[in-house]
Amino acid sequence: MTFPINAYLAALLGGFLVTLAVLPLWRAWCVRTGHVDEPGHRKIHDRPITLAGGLAVLTGILVPLLGAMLLLQIGGWPGAGLPEIRHGLGRRGLQLAAILAGATGMVVLGWLDDRHELRASAKFAGQVLIAALVAAAGVRITLFVESVWFSYIVTVFWILAAVNALNFMDNMNGLCTGLGAIGAASFGCIAVLHGQYLVAILCLLACGALLGFLPFNYPEASAFLGDAGSHLVGFLLGVLAILPDFYSTKHPKYWAVLTPLLILTVPLLDMAWVVWRRWQRGQPFYLGDTTHLSHRLVQRGLSKTQSVAAIWAVAMACGGVAVWLNR
């Protein structure tokens, strides 16, 4: 039986509408508690902006997902697809719980950094711990190598790369948010094509939550993702890249395991370039500067809005190619 398309639409719209609804509430809370980004050195804004994005996006993911699970428990799940959902949760219930816990952990870690400017070593240690816990729950990369230690190391490294790559890309209004939505949509489309309905629902839920935040963040921003949000976006894309089965006996294409690299080409290459340039200049790789792709496009004459849109277009092209190759 074909999985009902309505479930996919419900995930996308659920994430979108909940984030859209709760963002003003989180923004008011941020104003009341002083959780704002003040203007200053290398900042693109001239007034305090609330750091409500990460909190709103996480809410947009958790509320619809927990609501759907409650409906399953009380037998109120509407329409078809109930047996498949129960089967998927039975197989991946622990992994899903670990992913939600990891997402919450990343938001808390980023929130602490937004509030207290954590040392790079402390932030990195927190990222490693969260990634390791997710890997311990079974969300791991194998790359056809039958070694548990190899699987752990590669998985932790990949999640750290995704988290920091998207954190680096959070340097202009809408850039990180849009890249997150594009990446989640790309992974979701591939999961739909392969009949991996639970993975697809999670991807589309994340995509919807990010799209719900985008009107508050682009082209003008009344709220920022903050480190809490950029950590969440990177974590989600890192995990969503692991969940789909790009290679299987039904789809025996070894090169398909490179799909995540194609979908995340833009943030990964930007991070590699920036780290290399900072290493060349003898400065710590975690210190911000204006050598990112977005900054270089602005230096070449594009406006900030045009620069972000151009990068989105490249990311969408990469995602489209990835979906086509996995059709």
Tens of pLDDT along 233-261? Answer: 999 999 999 988 665 556 556 666 789 99
212: left (phi over 0), alpha (psi -120 to 50) or beta: alpha
pLDDT for position 5: 84
Q: Which residue has the higher pLDDT, 244 or 36?
A: 36
Q: In 55-100, where do the E strands start and end? A: none
> What would the mean pLDDT of 192-198 be, rounded to a whole number?
88
Residue 285, pLDDT score? 79
Distinct helix (H) and strand (E) counts, the chain = 12, 2
The fraction of the chain above a pLDDT of 90, given in percent, is 70
User: How much is the average pLDDT of 286-307?
Assistant: 91
- Candidate from 2-16, 82-96, 181-195 with smallest mean pLDDT: 82-96
Lowest-confidence range among 126-135, 173-182, 193-202, 302-311?
193-202
What's phi and psi for 223, nearest 5 deg?
A: -155, 145
Contact 16, 211 (CB under 8 A): yes
Please count the CA atoms within 13 angstroms of the CA of 107 that sit on its side-chain side: 22
- Tokens 């994430």: give the residue: 15
Q: What is the mean pLDDT of residues 84-92?
A: 69
pLDDT in tens, 48-75: 899 999 999 999 999 999 988 887 777 6
pLDDT higher than threshold 80 for residue 320: yes
Judged against a pLDDT cut of 70, whether residue 121 lies above it is answered with yes
Q: Is the pLDDT of residue 1 over 50?
A: no
Amino acid 158 reads: W
pLDDT band at 76 (very low <50, low <70, confident <90, very high): low
CB contact at 8 A, 51 and 34: no
**Helix (H) / strand (E) containing 158:** helix 148-168
CA distances from 16 to 13, 52, 113, 298 (A): 5, 15, 26, 30
Answer yes or no: is pLDDT of 313 > 90.
yes
Least reliable range by pLDDT among 63-72, 194-203, 282-291: 282-291
Query: In this prediction, what percent of the chain has a pLDDT beyond 70?
Result: 89
- Is residue 305 scored above 80 in pLDDT? yes
Work out whether strand 36-37 and strand 49-50 pair parallel, antiparallel, or are unpaired.
Answer: antiparallel
Provide the pLDDT confidence category of residue 165 given band limits of 50, 70 and 90: very high
More confident: 233 or 86: 233
Question: Does 133 score more than 90 pLDDT?
Answer: yes
119-133 average pLDDT score = 96
- Total domains in the fold of the chain: 1
Strand partners, 50: 36, 223
Whole-angstrom distance, CA of residue 37 vs CA of residue 22: 19
> What amino acid occupies position 190?
I
Is the pLDDT at 176 greater than 90? The verdict is yes
Q: Please check the confidence at residue 45 and state whether its pLDDT lies above 60.
A: no
- 47: confidence class by pLDDT, cuts 50, 70, 90: confident
> Is pLDDT at 183 greater than 90 in this prediction?
yes
Q: Give rounded-to-5 percent helix, strand, coil for the chain.
A: 70, 0, 25
Say whether 248 sits in a helix, a strand or coil.
coil
285 token code pair: 């790789």
The average pLDDT across 159-165 equals 97
- Cα–Cα dist 139/103, whole Å: 13
* Tokens, residue 137: 């729950």
Q: Domain residues for 174?
A: 5-325
Tell me the residue ranges of DSSP E strands in the chain.
Answer: 36-37, 49-50
pLDDT of residue 88: 67
Q: What average pLDDT does the chain have?
A: 90
Determine the pLDDT at residue 322.
94
- Give the span between the Cα atoms of 84 and 71, in whole angstroms: 15
